[in-house]
Amino acid sequence: MRRNIAALSALVLVSGVGIVSATQSATGAEPSVGALRAIRGDAGAPLALVYRGPAGCDDGCSEAAAAMLRSSRYHFKVRYVGPNEKRKIVPSSFTGVALYVQPGGDTSVARANKLLGAQAQQVISDYVRNGGRYLGICQGAYLAGTDPGMGLLSPGNSDQYIATKGASTKSEADTVIPIRWGKKKIYMYFQDGAYLIPSGVPGEKILARYTNGKVAALTKPYGAGRVGVIGPHPEAPRSWYREAGLRDRDGSDARYGHKLINSVMS
């Protein structure tokens, strides 16, 4: 979350298109050029849907996620989806879509779950189960769990990081925290985000951990699709740091968001 913000991002393959990368690793290595060509096909950049609406936030969460997608190696074409957008969360909106993103929210997880609604959540979970890709950032990671949520992490789950023993912050306030991406220590924007409880299923990849060892980012299969979730905010623009009076200690973290995208698209 960011000021009780969390972001769910969902990546979904175009129906009938397979993406395989022999170079993809557990640390989110970049996919092959051949895989990129496969997803783009003859129509140019793949299409991404980014949620924008009451289950999100009104101060740029959707737009920040969209910017990270556009700057990735996939160069996604982004369209917004939600109850007040031209595209609604219904099955027909996902035709030809390569990516779905549910970004951060400015309310509690329980309220975000209610605002998103059971019908929309069923559409999203069916989409992923049938071969789609889902990426959840912060609240999106919470909502991928089951307390409440869509159950996309099952038999794993998500929960509140600041309540864990040895957490680097115990505050719900906006902050910057250290995490380990692979073996590298980095600093990332954080606001009461989730930690992930691994499922242990084949194909699950742990990408990052908090300093107390809890999982900060992972990807895993879900049906015929794949789910990627992260507790902190790799998409955070400089304006978020300025508004919160925080210092960006090691520069933009979008490159780690790109690694997560690469892993979930594998």
The H or E element containing residue 229 is strand 225-230
Instruction: Please state the separation of Cα 241 from the chain's center in Å.
Output: 20
pLDDT at position 43: 55
Nearest CA among 257, 255, 144, 161 for reference residue 212: 161
C-alpha 97/C-alpha 91 separation (Å) is: 11
Per-residue pLDDT of the chain (266 residues; tens, 9 = 90+): 654 444 333 333 333 333 333 233 333 444 443 444 444 443 589 989 999 999 988 889 999 999 999 999 999 999 999 999 999 999 999 988 888 888 888 889 999 999 999 999 999 999 999 999 998 999 999 999 998 999 999 999 999 999 999 999 999 999 999 999 999 999 999 999 999 999 999 999 999 999 999 999 999 999 999 999 999 999 999 999 999 999 998 999 999 999 999 999 98
Question: pTM of this prediction?
Answer: 0.84
Q: Which domains, ranges and CATH numbers included, belong to the chain?
A: 33-264 (3.40.50.880)
pLDDT at position 1: 64
pLDDT at position 24: 37
Q: Residue 73 pairs with which residues in a beta bridge?
A: none
pLDDT at position 27: 38
pLDDT at position 58: 83
Q: Count H helices, E strands: the chain?
A: 7, 11
